[in-house]
Amino acid sequence: MSENVVALVGAPNSGKTTLYNWLTKSQYKTVNYPGSTVDYAVGTLAGDSEIQIIDTPGTYSLFPKSQDEQVTHDVLFAGTLGVRRVILVCDGTQIERHLLIGYQLQQAGISFVVAVTMNDLLVKNKIPLNLNFIRKEFDFSFVLFDGVNGAGLDALITEVKKLPPRVPGQLDPWSAKKFEQTSDLIEKKINISRPAGKQNQLLARTQGIDRWLLHPVFGVAFFFIIMSVIFASIFWVSAPVMDAVDQFFAWTARAILSVNPQSLWVQFLSDGLVVSIGAVLVFVPQIFILFLGIGFLESSGYLSRASTIVDRPLLALGLSGRSFVPLLSGFACAVPAMMASRNLSSKKERWIVNFIIPLMTCSARIPVFALLIGLLFYRQSSWWAGLAMAAMYFLSLAVGMTASFLLSKIIRTKEKSLFLMELPLYRWPRWRVLVKQSILRTQGYIRRAGPMIFLFAVILWIGAHFPIEKEIQDPQIWKTASLDQSYLGQLGKNMEPLFEPLGTDWRVGIGLISAFAAREVFVSSLALVFNIPQDGKPDSEKGLLKTLSQATNEKGQALFKFSSVVGLLIFFMIALQCMSTFIVSIKENHSLKFALGQLVGLNLLAYIVSVSVVQFLQMFQI
């Protein structure tokens, strides 16, 4: 096994991932929240592919108390990755506490160097950290590293290369006395190197902000305002860009169709591919705004405050404030959100969180919600749609919380969950980094959803136009089937009894079934199916919203009535229609039974609740 494996170890939020990115020239997401890395990442040192670098989840000591801390412990001691050297990453502003791991590494006989980060804050606040003094006091090797400009990186690499490779030994448990004596010793040594009382100035600004953002009354109000603004801005901010994207695809579809309207290939390109792909891509600006909003919360330091504020209410529902971060991540995507649940100390809490994560309004639901809300408030101010979007987020949270409460009553355990939250200093996000990371995450969304949308566009278009036959007057021209005579139409009609209680017809049913491949496909399916009038000629002149708002059922009544749109919103809010989530759920919970129960349970619940709501509303002719 290679002796050139170096692990980055340190407390959460100490700057390990930033250092990892500098060492390997990667672009991993770094955030201002303790516990953002929940799995290890492996890369090679830029400029020296012989040396492997491993970024580990943050840990406060080498005695693990949660699944992510166990990962770090195993990276060092399980021996499978062959770690022979360690870089202990310490936040310079918290070095007294973060050096505790140094003594544990020393006891385990691990070869390590200390990288002192957050130097920019120390310099900015004129707080001396006299490294020459510190070097004399400790028999560790120290290097200053600046995560903003990379200063100190070369010196750190040189120090790492000098370290003798060593197989990690054993770490005996520490008594309370040993913890206290070691902490006293570190504090004494560090305090020699700097004037007393000066360090606290660093916290003053953050505490000044927290006096309001964590205030028992105003803090709660700020929490709701901040969350509402972020989720409502998904609609408000992105509206003009969405209009532009929508017009671009409508223009492209018309331009392609004008080349040869009779050609099946041209029709497929125009109404199959361009319309389907455009129907989903039009929502990309909203998804970008969502990632930007969540990124802002992560990098500013507010996420820890939000977790702190909601801890007490979540406790009553069987969760803790630490569950807030995986749940919030679930608003972007359930897959990383389930992985983020690893930093929860209680197994019961992890199971509950993983069960309810698919209920959070993920980015894949945005196109669906945006379309359905657009139908509810067609031709009305976008402010209403924005508020309705924010309401959907809070409603999905409320459904998740109810499920959590019920599950916490069913699953009984004596396990205690830990909260103890370190509140990081507030920092202004670096906008360039934030925008870049949001673009990368949006690209990831497109890459994930794109192939499925393309595949279903092809399948649905063929299904909606075939069988074909030659025109009687002109045998050179192939005539496509009308929608209700097509394969897709026949299939939909056979399944119509299933969709009727939802207040919809078979055309919407086709969309609902195809959404099990990926939720976004629902939108492209509707775009494709409703773009085909009964005479078989496509109509790409109208926007999708206009087409749907004018759609009627067989009785000539409006198809998308208030009750049926609300029913669809509820169905999509609850249903688990994502195969990636299902697979990750098996892996993260180590149980196929759990994942299957989740899949069947949530989809059944979605159907029953939405049918009940539609039937109730229809009693009042709504």
Partner 1 sequence: MDNQKNRDPQLRISLVIVDLVGPVEITERLREFGLRPGVPLFYFGRTGFGGAHLLQAGNAWLALRESEFQCLKM
Question: Which residue in 133, 179, 268, 405 binds partner 1 (CB under 8 A)?
Answer: 179
Which member of 22, 60, 324, 393 binds partner 1 (CB under 8 A)? 60
130 binds partner 1 (CB under 8 A): no
Min CB(183)–partner 1 separation in Å: 6
Q: By rule CB under 8 A, what string of x and - marks binding of each residue 423-452 to partner 1? A: xxx---------------------------
Integer Cα distance of 470 and 479 in angstroms: 6
Strands (E), 431-502: 468-470, 478-480
Interface with partner 1 (CB under 8 A), residue from 105, 250, 309, 517: 309
Complex with partner 1: residue 394 or 516, whichever CB lies closer: 394
State which of residues 84, 97, 465, 519 lies at the interface with partner 1 (CB under 8 A).
Answer: 97
Does residue 123 belong to the site contacting partner 1 (CB under 8 A)?
A: no
In a 3-state reduction of DSSP, which class is residue 326? helix
Residue 180 CB, nearest approach to partner 1 (Å): 5
Rg (CA), the chain: 28
Residue whose CB is less far from partner 1, 335 or 425: 425
Q: How far is the CB of 191 from partner 1 (least distance, A)?
A: 10
Contact between 226 and partner 1 per CB under 8 A? no
545-579 in b/e form (b: 16+ CB < 10 A) is bebbbebebeeeeebbbbbbbbbbbbbbbbbbbbe
C-beta of 400 vs 424, nearer to partner 1: 424
Tokens found for residue 317: 């529902």
Site stretch for partner 1 (CB under 8 A), options 39-47, 106-114, 411-419, 492-500: 411-419
The interface mask with partner 1, positions 285-304, x = CB under 8 A, is: -------------------x
CA quadruple 364, 369, 375, 377: dihedral, nearest 10: -140
**At 49, is the secondary structure helix, strand, or coil?**
strand
Q: Which is nearer to partner 1, 38 or 202 (CB)?
A: 202
Q: Is the Cα dihedral 375, 377, 379, 381 positive or negative?
A: negative
**CB closer to partner 1, 342 vs 465:** 342
Q: How far is the CB of 114 from partner 1 (least distance, A)?
A: 17
Whether residue 9 contacts residue 89, with contact meaning beta carbons closer than 8 Å, is answered with yes
Quote the CA–CA distance of 440 and 27 in Å, as a whole number. Answer: 9
**Contact call for residue 119 and partner 1 (CB under 8 A):** no
Among the listed residues 196, 217, 472, 619, the single contact to partner 1 using CB under 8 A: 217
**195, 197, 216, 467: residue in contact with partner 1 (rule CB under 8 A):** 216
Strands 85-91 and 5-10: parallel
Q: Which is nearer to partner 1, 308 or 564 (CB)?
A: 308
Question: Distance between CA atoms of 306 and 317, rounded to whole angstroms?
Answer: 17
The residue from 3, 74, 120, 187 that contacts partner 1 (CB under 8 A) is 187
Decide: 17 and 55 in contact? Cβ < 8 Å. yes
Interface stretch with partner 1, choices 80-88, 365-373, 422-430, 497-505 (CB under 8 A): 422-430
Residue 196: count of CB within 10 angstroms of its CB: 7
- 41 three-state secondary structure: strand
Out of 4, 36, 93, 540, which residue is the one contacting partner 1 (CB under 8 A)?
93
- Residues 34 and 616: their CA atoms lie apart, in Å, by 46
Residue of the chain from 320, 329, 438, 598 that contacts partner 1 (CB under 8 A):
320
Region at 13 (left for phi over 0; alpha for psi -120 to 50; beta for the rest): left
Phi/psi of residue 208, nearest 5 degrees: -60, -45
120 binds partner 1 (CB under 8 A): no
**Among the listed residues 352, 347, 346, 327, the one whose alpha carbon sits nearest the alpha carbon of residue 337:** 327
CA 14 to chain centre: 22
- DSSP characters for 83-126? --EEEEEEEGGGHHHHTHHHHHHHHTT--EEEEEE-HHHHHHTT
Question: Is the CB of residue 231 less than 8 Å from the CB of residue 389?
Answer: yes
Q: How far is the CB of 108 from partner 1 (least distance, A)?
A: 16
Closest separation between CB of residue 184 and partner 1, Å?
A: 8
Residue 128 interacting with partner 1 (CB under 8 A): no
Q: Is the dihedral of CA 306, 312, 316, 319 positive or negative?
A: positive
Q: Which is nearer to partner 1, 11 or 234 (CB)?
A: 11
Q: Is 546 in the site for partner 1 (CB under 8 A)?
A: no
Nearer to partner 1, 348 or 507 (CB): 348
Residue with smaller CB distance to partner 1, 177 or 447: 177
For partner 1, the closer of residues 211 and 254 by Cβ is 211
Tell me which residue has tokens 């049913």.
509
Which 65-84 positions form the footprint of partner 1 (CB under 8 A)?
65
Rounded alpha-carbon distances, angstroms, from residue 364 to 391, 442, 444, 577: 17, 11, 12, 10
Contact in structure between 45 and 66 (CB atoms under 8 Å): no
The distance of closest approach from Cβ of residue 62 to partner 1 in the complex, given in angstroms and rounded to an integer, is 10
| 129 contributes a contact to partner 1 by CB under 8 A | no
Question: Which residues of the chain form contacts with partner 1 (CB under 8 A)?
Answer: 60-61, 63, 65, 93-94, 96-97, 100, 176, 179-180, 183-184, 187, 199-200, 202-203, 206-207, 210-212, 214-217, 219-220, 304, 308-309, 311-313, 315, 320-321, 345, 416, 418-425
